[in-house]
Amino acid sequence: MPSRFGFHFHRPIQALANSPMVCSGCCSVFRRDELVAFGGFPERTIVEDMDYICMPQGE
Protein backbone atom coordinates (compact mmCIF):
# COMPACT_ATOMS: atom_id res chain seq x y z
CA MET A 1 0.00 0.00 0.00
CA PRO A 2 2.69 2.64 0.80
CA SER A 3 4.20 2.35 -2.69
CA ARG A 4 0.79 2.87 -4.29
CA PHE A 5 0.19 5.87 -2.06
CA GLY A 6 3.53 7.36 -3.02
CA PHE A 7 3.04 6.70 -6.70
CA HIS A 8 -0.51 8.07 -6.92
CA PHE A 9 -0.24 10.90 -4.39
CA HIS A 10 3.34 12.10 -3.94
CA ARG A 11 4.52 11.81 -7.54
CA PRO A 12 1.84 14.12 -9.00
CA ILE A 13 2.50 16.69 -6.26
CA GLN A 14 6.24 16.56 -6.96
CA ALA A 15 5.52 17.03 -10.66
CA LEU A 16 3.31 20.09 -9.99
CA ALA A 17 5.90 21.61 -7.65
CA ASN A 18 8.74 20.68 -10.01
CA SER A 19 10.58 19.52 -6.92
CA PRO A 20 10.92 16.44 -4.74
CA MET A 21 8.89 16.50 -1.52
CA VAL A 22 11.57 14.88 0.62
CA CYS A 23 15.32 14.66 0.20
CA SER A 24 16.85 12.29 2.69
CA GLY A 25 19.99 13.68 4.32
CA CYS A 26 22.02 10.64 3.34
CA CYS A 27 21.22 11.40 -0.32
CA SER A 28 21.47 15.20 -0.17
CA VAL A 29 24.11 17.81 -0.80
CA PHE A 30 23.79 21.18 0.89
CA ARG A 31 25.55 24.46 0.08
CA ARG A 32 27.62 25.07 3.19
CA ASP A 33 27.54 28.87 2.95
CA GLU A 34 23.73 28.87 2.76
CA LEU A 35 23.40 26.37 5.58
CA VAL A 36 25.74 28.39 7.80
CA ALA A 37 23.91 31.63 6.92
CA PHE A 38 20.65 29.92 7.88
CA GLY A 39 22.13 29.10 11.28
CA GLY A 40 22.91 25.45 10.63
CA PHE A 41 20.58 22.51 10.89
CA PRO A 42 17.65 23.04 13.25
CA GLU A 43 17.96 20.98 16.43
CA ARG A 44 14.30 20.80 17.42
CA THR A 45 13.79 17.32 15.91
CA ILE A 46 15.80 14.16 15.30
CA VAL A 47 15.36 14.60 11.54
CA GLU A 48 17.19 17.90 11.24
CA ASP A 49 18.02 17.44 7.54
CA MET A 50 14.36 17.01 6.59
CA ASP A 51 13.36 19.78 8.99
CA TYR A 52 15.80 22.15 7.25
CA ILE A 53 14.44 21.21 3.83
CA CYS A 54 10.83 21.85 4.90
CA MET A 55 11.51 25.21 6.56
CA PRO A 56 11.07 28.44 4.55
CA GLN A 57 14.57 29.38 3.41
CA GLY A 58 13.94 33.10 2.98
CA GLU A 59 13.33 33.84 6.64
Which pLDDT score, from 0 to 100, does residue 19 have? 72
Query: Average pLDDT for residues 36-48, to the nearest whole number?
Result: 85
- Model confidence over 5-40: pLDDT tens digits? 666 777 787 788 777 666 666 777 888 998 898 888
Higher pLDDT, 4 or 59: 4
Which pLDDT score, from 0 to 100, does residue 25 have? 64
Question: Which candidate, 21, 39, 43, places its Cα nearest to that of 57?
Answer: 39
Which pLDDT score, from 0 to 100, does residue 33 have? 92
Question: Which candidate, 11, 48, 12, places its Cα nearest to that of 30?
Answer: 48
Cα 37–chain centre separation: 18
Which pLDDT score, from 0 to 100, does residue 35 have? 86
Give residue limits of the domains in the chain. 22-59
